[in-house]
Structure 1
Amino acid sequence: MPTTIDTAFLDTMPPNVAVQFFDRVAATPDAEAFRFPRGEAWESVTWKQAGDKVEALAAGLIALGVEPEQRVGIASGTRYEWILADLAVMCAAGATTTVYPTTNAEDTVYILGDSESRVVFAEDDEQVAKLAAHRSELPHVTKVITFDGTTDGDWIISLEDLAALGAEKLAEQPDVVRTTSQAIRPDQLATLIYTSGTTGRPKGVRLRHSSWVYEGEAIRAQGILSESDLEFRWLPMAHSFGKVLMSTQMACGFAAAIDGRVEKIVDNLGVVKPTFMGAAPRIFEKAHDRIVLMQAAEGGAKEKIFKKAFDVGLEVDRRKREGRSVPIGLKVQHGLFDKLVFSKIRDRFGGNVRFFISGAAALNRDVAEWFGVAGIKILEGYGLTETSAGSFVNHPDRNKFGTVGPVFPGSEVKLGDNDEILIKGPGVMDGYHNLPEETAKTLTSDGWLRTGDKGALDEDGHLVITGRIKELFKTSGGKYIAPPAIESKFKAICPYASQFMVLGDERNYCVALITLDADAMAAWGEENGMAGASYADIVSSDGVQKMVGDYVDELNSHLNRWETIKKWRILEQDLSVESGELTPSMKVKRNVVQENNQALIDEMYA
């Protein structure tokens, strides 16, 4: 039976994000709030210190004339200053408009123009240049505040300049920020997040103060996190997953170490030693693949021990899930392998991880089970930007592989036509900015959000995602294919895989476009007489072509006949955000990849 969680918190939630933040500052002023890199060292600040800084910046925004619900853009990677800016915007009653630093100038200008942003925080000279080159197209932008960029003392000022403006404002009106924050209505606009989307122009999702407050309070009510936790946060704060972690931090009171540099994640985990981290599945897949390939490269007895450890671990976990006893001999073996193998894997992630939280895309079950065997739980969750990120999450003591957990307390779920997942609750958006027709397509008249995802609910009320309605296609033989399920299986089988894209709509068989991980391929080249060769040369070599062919054959042995991959090609470069083929949250833009490789696809069907 589903476990019910008391929803009394819905009646006692703070009225808005600003009050939620100042309540946290008052509750634990001397506790650590954030730590962040300064050169090679890490600096730490308390909630009181962060509160003072946010108040000064919020007063500065009020001095610049920011009014309730007016949009303020942030074009920056994830860093401590991003969080200060976002909190300052909401404490000044403005509404944050998020822009990924990788967004090209055209889309950046579109987002800031469509949102009518009045002020923009820009990380550095690269971000400022996008705005300066298109200043005439941004008539609403009256001020740019840069974290690290060059200032001109007029249109472009520094974060310190803004804080100084705020100090002057607070000297005149000491209560201006607290008075402003207390007047913010729960239904007031807090954030405008433009979904990068896999097709078309980005759509601005309008999210209320009450939505973010609810998200954090709903996670706190489930008892998943507490003040004693330590988060490592690298996720893009421009993405709703990053934003919901901030809301959760204010509700629960734990500290967060902030560094958005993806290439530093593993190193940072070893230094920070967090108890949890949120990430997209690709991060876990890459970590899994790297460890597996390192062991394979060592070969011999070490590789045999490694493989045997996971065989034993999987059997122990299977027995526990099925409620069967674990024989004493198997227990002893498992204890030995825990010391020899699993403890070393946990140490790579800092040694203190209670769990990781996976979201933004589907997590491969085999990868989740692999981490579980090593003693690291991955709690898969599910939600959309349109639901303020979180709507479902597994719990540490009730983690069911293959599901995204139960719906958040205070929210509802049901299955509509074609098993489409429908969600209703405080986290659901107001609608799309300036797009009433799109809003009407997505929100029903009685407040249910159409997710576009297919699902099923199990006997415990846990949701299983079974596919994306728009990604399903039918072969010319009339068989339906769910590409993500096949793609996920290949990534679990092939440790070199980066992307695997299945095609076959209205065709008589399926084909695939494949990319391989650049670092893994460089290592393969070192071991196979191609040291220093380019990625394109390595992946086109006979050795790699045969190796990938073997993995595709293995994949096909697990598929129905009509699902099997008849032909495939390895692309000469990996997909990337910069090329426009991936969204910033690492989802494949299928239409862009297909357009870019149409000649190759046609050749496979010739």
Structure 2
Amino acid sequence: MAVESEKQTSLHCLYHWARHTPDSVYLTQPFPDGRVEDITWGQAADQVSRMVSHLNSLGLPERSNIAILGKNSAHWILSDLAIWAAGHVSVPLYPTLNGDTAAYVLEHSEAQLLFLGKLDGTADGWNDIKGHIPEDLPIISLPLSPRDDTPKWMDIMAQCEPGEPRLPDPDDLATIVYTSGSTGRPKGVMHSFRTMIAAADGLQQLFSVGSDERMLSYLPLAHVAERAAVETQSLYYGFHLYFANSLDTFQEDLQRARPTLFFSVPRLWMKFYLGVNAKLPPKKQRLLFNIPILKGVVKKKVLRQLGLDHCRAALTGAAPLSAEIIGWYRSLGLELLEVYGMSENFGYSHANRPGQAKVGTVGMANPGVEHRLGDGGEIEVKSPGQMLGYYKNEEKTREDVTDDGFLKTGDMGEIDSDGCLRITGRVKDLFKTSKGKYVVPVPIENRFNHPKAEVVCVAGANQPQPCLMVLLSDEARAELETGGSRGELEQELAHELDAVNALCEGHEKLAFVVVVKEPWTMENGMLTPTMKIKRNVIENYYNQKMDEWFRQKAKVVWES
């Protein structure tokens, strides 16, 4: 793969576009008061250069680690670029972290400064985090920051002249990304500018990305998936990047962007699907989709209302999405493509190609990527995006990377005759029933596709049989609260249970379905910041109720 000389790093890319297309809009930021701000490439480079002057004046040690905490915003990306332009290393923190974990990341990374961005304490961890920020840690507040007692980005812009950026060497350390951590303390994954830009160059070969694309940034920029698919690509290809204001305005923000490329995670694809079903029930969909004169019109209307009618390629990753749901989107005319990657390879590993998708797999190895199966069917990958190692943890680096340079992913899989990879589960997710039989939960979870089930989790370690916990969609819960028929839903869930069990081996058959009472969220620790279930947290939370549920001997159990 050959990265263009003028675009060796993300920072080189910023100044490349500022020279060649200074008046083109790069970033579009909506604000809570309804105002929308456009920032051109020229303005972006100017702001970054002014912040360089300020950072240089602080006398920070060379190659300092500088943290960024906040939801996605235009200035999150500008602060990332400014850190690099001043010769430092960026350390993103998830805005949904609890205070203890945020304190750990700040201490472990030895952060010398914090850029504090968009937070409000409602759908993020700010109320807990704010009491864990060291009092002696310098803070610069970005627009939409919850603090007004620190130096502010816009004031610095007015006070400082542009400084000369330090363009980095591609092999310099660029960022330390702390894993979202479904178990234990997060690990600091070190990436160079080269490993980051490799993802953008490789994705070009798959999706023919150009400068006329539009994307919406709303998944956490602290995660490599958004950093690779959105930040790095927008910088490399020079396209227009939009941001979302809030969950309440998400549909409006999506309509504003009308993205041509769209990346999301299974939980949100499921939410979109359930939202359409709530307005246009599946039975009515099947009827309309089978009328030749109407089906095209109806499908286009559905995509238009989702804000995805201009989308030529849509990606899903970070966790499995059932083949049935992928097939539903593809039937609408949206080419939804499953991709696969990890923090440790900057998300650059496998992808389904446009026009060549193999539903049920994560596609073939990306250009420049090698893959193989190791002990126990564990997927091992060698990627141009592969990390430099774990920060201050050489022992873990040696444990996770083989002597010949392959990353042990912790995922189990199968590679078919076409070279397509199918993920079959996590090595650590396997559990034994009391009969001594191993259960692999992910394939079973993927088979359960009731239109009112938002997310599911197979559990049952040391029990006679596994069971399935179901979180109903917001719409389904609201329907029940306003007098909807519990009996009818119970029958439907029991029928889906039978259908799933018909495809399971004897020891895998689900004893029952539990409809859980409380939502699983990032805030209560049940989900990672990329909306994957934290299986161990969920299992521990419900473990004490298992015996009672088994005693009920019912197909569908309602958590009391």
Taking structure 1 as the reference length, the TM-score comes to: 0.84
Equivalent residues in 2 for 1:458-477, closer than 5 Å: 458-477=416-435
Write the distance in 2 (CA, Å) between the matches of 1:258 and 1:207: 25
Write the distance in 1 (CA, Å) between the matches of 2:52 and 2:64: 13
The answer (yes or no) to whether the contact 1:354–1:377 under 8 Å persists in 2 is yes
Instruction: State the Cα distance separating 1:583 from its structure 2 match.
Output: 0.8
Write the distance in 1 (CA, Å) between the matches of 2:465 and 2:487: 25
Partner of 1:510: 466
The answer (yes or no) to whether the contact 1:36–1:79 under 8 Å persists in 2 is yes
1:116 is the counterpart of 2:74: no
Instruction: State the Cα distance separating 1:52 from its structure 2 match.
Output: 1.2
Partner of 1:232: 216
CA change 1:507–1:19 in 2 (3 A) is: same
Match for residue 267 of structure 2 among 282, 297, 300: 282
CA-to-aligned-CA distance 1:48-77 (integer Å, 9 cap, x gap): 121111221233222223454311111101
Partner of 1:191: 175
Q: Comparing both structures, which one devotes a greater share of its residues to helix?
A: 1
1:31 is the counterpart of 2:36: no
The answer (yes or no) to whether the contact 1:476–1:508 under 8 Å persists in 2 is yes
Write the distance in 2 (CA, Å) between the matches of 1:388 and 1:33: 23
Moved more, 236-245 or 495-504: 495-504
Write the distance in 2 (CA, Å) between the matches of 1:546 and 1:354: 39
CA change 1:188–1:580 in 2 (3 A) is: same
Match for residue 9 of structure 2 among 11, 16, 32: 16
Instruction: State the Cα distance separating 1:149 from its structure 2 match.
Output: 4.1
**SS at 1:395 equivalent:** coil
Moved more, 431-440 or 143-152: 143-152
CA-to-aligned-CA distance 1:516-553 (integer Å, 9 cap, x gap): 12333213443628xxxxxxxxxxx5555444334323
Moved more, 249-258 or 367-376: 249-258
**SS at 1:222 equivalent:** helix
**SS at 1:565 equivalent:** coil
Amino acid at match of 2:243: I
Equivalent residues in 2 for 1:307-456, closer than 5 Å: 307-310=286-289, 312=290, 333-334=291-292, 336-339=294-297, 341-350=298-307, 351-456=309-414
CA change 1:149–1:243 in 2 (3 A) is: closer
Instruction: State the Cα distance separating 1:111 from its structure 2 match.
Output: 0.6
Write the distance in 1 (CA, Å) between the matches of 2:126 and 2:527: 24
Write the distance in 1 (CA, Å) between the matches of 2:367 and 2:310: 28
Amino acid at match of 2:26: A
Instruction: State the Cα distance separating 1:304 from its structure 2 match.
Output: 5.0
The answer (yes or no) to whether the contact 2:243–2:253 under 8 Å persists in 1 is no
Amino acid at match of 1:307: R
CA-to-aligned-CA distance 1:364-422 (integer Å, 9 cap, x gap): 11111100001111111100011112222222222221122222222222221222111
Match for residue 554 of structure 1 among 476, 499, 502: 499
**SS at 2:424 equivalent:** strand
**SS at 1:398 equivalent:** coil
Instruction: State the Cα distance separating 1:132 from its structure 2 match.
Output: 5.9
Partner of 2:138: 142
Instruction: State the Cα distance separating 1:468 from its structure 2 match.
Output: 1.4
Amino acid at match of 1:23: H
The answer (yes or no) to whether the contact 1:406–1:461 under 8 Å persists in 2 is yes
Write the distance in 1 (CA, Å) between the matches of 2:325 and 2:425: 19
Partner of 1:324: none
1:201 is the counterpart of 2:146: no
Partner of 1:50: 44
Write the distance in 2 (CA, Å) between the matches of 1:131 and 1:308: 50
Write the distance in 1 (CA, Å) between the matches of 2:441 and 2:283: 34
Partner of 1:261: 246
Match for residue 255 of structure 2 among 250, 265, 270: 270
Write the distance in 2 (CA, Å) between the matches of 1:44 and 1:129: 30
CA change 1:600–1:250 in 2 (3 A) is: same
Amino acid at match of 2:540: E
Write the distance in 2 (CA, Å) between the matches of 1:260 and 1:413: 39
The answer (yes or no) to whether the contact 2:274–2:454 under 8 Å persists in 1 is no
CA change 1:61–1:188 in 2 (3 A) is: same
The answer (yes or no) to whether the contact 1:59–1:166 under 8 Å persists in 2 is yes
Write the distance in 2 (CA, Å) between the matches of 1:415 and 1:253: 37
1:163 is the counterpart of 2:108: no
**SS at 1:362 equivalent:** coil
Moved more, 582-591 or 262-271: 262-271
Write the distance in 2 (CA, Å) between the matches of 1:342 and 1:237: 31
Amino acid at match of 1:397: G
1:487 is the counterpart of 2:445: yes
CA change 1:399–1:568 in 2 (3 A) is: closer
Instruction: State the Cα distance separating 1:286 from its structure 2 match.
Output: 1.1
Write the distance in 1 (CA, Å) between the matches of 2:321 and 2:283: 27
The answer (yes or no) to whether the contact 1:269–1:348 under 8 Å persists in 2 is no
Equivalent residues in 2 for 1:490-501, closer than 5 Å: 490=448, 492=449, 494-501=450-457
Please tell me the root mean square deviation across aligned C-alpha atoms, in Å: 2.5
Partner of 2:514: 569
Instruction: State the Cα distance separating 1:45 from its structure 2 match.
Output: 2.3
State, as a whole percentage, how many aligned pairs show the same letter: 29
Amino acid at match of 2:458: V
Match for residue 592 of structure 1 among 509, 513, 537: 537
The answer (yes or no) to whether the contact 2:189–2:391 under 8 Å persists in 1 is yes
Write the distance in 2 (CA, Å) between the matches of 1:150 and 1:455: 44
> Which structure 1 segments of 5+ residues have no match?
1-6, 297-302, 313-332, 530-540
Moved more, 61-70 or 90-99: 61-70
Write the distance in 2 (CA, Å) between the matches of 1:291 and 1:150: 35
Partner of 1:317: none
CA change 1:569–1:342 in 2 (3 A) is: same
**SS at 2:151 equivalent:** strand
Number of residue equivalences: 544
Instruction: State the Cα distance separating 1:260 from its structure 2 match.
Output: 5.7
Instruction: State the Cα distance separating 1:590 from its structure 2 match.
Output: 1.3
Moved more, 578-587 or 15-24: 15-24
CA change 1:11–1:414 in 2 (3 A) is: farther
**SS at 2:348 equivalent:** coil
CA-to-aligned-CA distance 1:185-218 (integer Å, 9 cap, x gap): 2222111111121111111111111111111111
Match for residue 133 of structure 1 among 128, 131, 134: 131
Larger Rg: 1
Write the distance in 2 (CA, Å) between the matches of 1:260 and 1:195: 25
Match for residue 295 of structure 1 among 274, 277, 280: 280
The answer (yes or no) to whether the contact 1:72–1:89 under 8 Å persists in 2 is yes
Write the distance in 1 (CA, Å) between the matches of 2:42 and 2:493: 55
The answer (yes or no) to whether the contact 1:144–1:157 under 8 Å persists in 2 is yes
Amino acid at match of 2:223: H
CA change 1:334–1:377 in 2 (3 A) is: farther
Amino acid at match of 2:116: A
Partner of 1:602: 547
The answer (yes or no) to whether the contact 1:60–1:164 under 8 Å persists in 2 is no
**SS at 1:467 equivalent:** strand
Moved more, 22-31 or 103-112: 22-31
Taking structure 2 as the reference length, the TM-score comes to: 0.90
